[in-house]
Amino acid sequence: MNSELSVVIYILIILSSHKNEKLTSAQISEKISVNPVRIRRILSSFKKVGYVKTKEGIDGGYVLSVEPHDITLQDIYKLVSSKHLQIPKPSMSSKGHLTAEIDMQLTSIFIECEQQLMRQLGKINLGSMLKLMTDCQLERTE
């Protein structure tokens, strides 16, 4: 897992919490301290899959185009992660029987871990995260 996943989740949660309000990359940047260029790059890829809409110009900005409850963390992970958990390189296996056996075991372990991760991420959506955040904020103000 990498920081890109966290940044994407931050951005999408911010857009979710400002429903029907266009936010610029600069506004999002102020909230999460991430460079606006990075935010625009991330949102460009999420626009391609239909999660985000944009409007250019003075009144421009980004808006979430999918209901937060319809986007799971698994969906986001699949879009952000270009490769699976690191499985040993095959070249290591040629160094001997012991390394080949360890590589096989690690491959099995990593595949199982990724499957468990995907199942868990599939249970959580942006809407539930947003609700939890809202509930926590309400508790702090009481």
Query: According to the model, what pLDDT value does residue 128 have?
Result: 93
Three-class secondary structure of residue 86 per DSSP:
coil
How many whole angstroms separate alpha carbon 106 and alpha carbon 34?
35
Position 19 confidence tier, pLDDT thresholds 50, 70, 90: confident
Nearest to 17 by CA among 5, 4, 27, 2: 27
Beta bridge partners of 64: 52
CA atoms within 13 A on the CB side of 89: 3
How many whole angstroms separate alpha carbon 9 and alpha carbon 82?
16
Global confidence as pTM: 0.80
Which tokens sit at 21? 């309000």
pLDDT tens-digit series, residues 47-88:
999 999 998 888 889 999 999 999 999 999 999 886 655 555
Dihedral angle, C-alpha 82, 86, 91, 94, nearest 10 °: -150
How many whole angstroms separate alpha carbon 101 and alpha carbon 99?
5
